[in-house]
Structure 1
């Protein structure tokens, strides 16, 4: 793989608000970047996780088990890569990190991240979203607030809409 220089995401939304991204993203699987802080491939992070200036990114096909989750628990943030907007495996990884393994740090979506996905990503546990370069920040913020009610349970709402209505006694 050719040496790829680390890049800083141009547009980052954190908990729905724009934020300057100070974390470089390195996709070089052979060597750690000199720049810190940096998000690096999982294998490199596992070899150097004592370096507090590093955080891992997970490919969408990561087999997330309890052993790996224990390793990731010490990471200040975990990035999950979307190699294509049609690849939904990253949603599952985020939900597993939050719900099954109780991860409390930042979970960041990277890669082919489109405005149309943001609301659903936030429902699955992503709290930082690094948009693809051609996506507009204004559109992204609007998309995050597009729905006022969710029918299905998610990381943000544990009950389905019908369960909330039954509990509240609202049967309409």
Structure 2
């Protein structure tokens, strides 16, 4: 199997890169010991929480129908959370990302995977995503351009937080 391309965005400096993917996505729950740098299903993490809490080499991934509330404030202790986008028409992952950032204090890598492509990157970034898995048959450098599809936003979001009228007037 060919691994997808990984685009990473540094949320502080704005630097962007096409990077090697050092994490393995585990699709099915397993009872075996979990090796390092694995992204496991939310249900598996919840079942094995006591064993896995505090490990900085385990990430969690969300299906579109998983609820961020199930992870809650434990999200803040994870190094990576991935959110699945199974199809272009399924936008539930945008809400999951925003909730993880704004409500549950997640500050690690927030990765989008699945049907992720150039036209969605700008919107994903606004919801707090800073890593994007692009299918292996797509050009990751072309997809990077999607981060610049729009130069200004009227509404506040995870990025930018303030709406345009506040940014223009300097009103807090």
Give TM-score scaled by structure 2 length. 0.83
Partner residue of 1:163 out of 156, 161, 166: 166
Alignment RMSD (CA, Å): 2.2
Q: Deviations over 1:59-103 (max 9, x none)?
A: 1111222x6222222211100111112111111011111111221
State the distance in 2 between where 1:161 and 1:52 align. Answer: 37
Partner residue of 1:12 out of 6, 17, 27: 6
Q: 1:79 to 1:122 in 2, by over 3 A?
A: same
Give TM-score scaled by structure 1 length. 0.83
Structure 2: runs of 5 or more not aligned = 10-15
Paired residues in the alignment total 161
Query: 39-48 or 97-106, which moves further after superposition?
Result: 39-48
Q: Deviations over 1:21-70 (max 9, x none)?
A: 100112123455865311111122231424443211011111222x6222
**Counterpart in the other structure of 1:40:** 40
Whose Rg is larger? Answer: 1
Q: 1:134 to 1:32 in 2, by over 3 A?
A: farther
Contact 1:32 1:44 in 2 (8 A): no
Structure 1: runs of 5 or more not aligned = 1-6
In the alignment, structure 1 residue 96 sits paired with structure 2 residue 90 = no
State the distance in 2 between where 1:17 and 1:139 align. Answer: 12
Partner residue of 2:90 out of 87, 99, 103: 87
**Counterpart in the other structure of 2:78:** 75
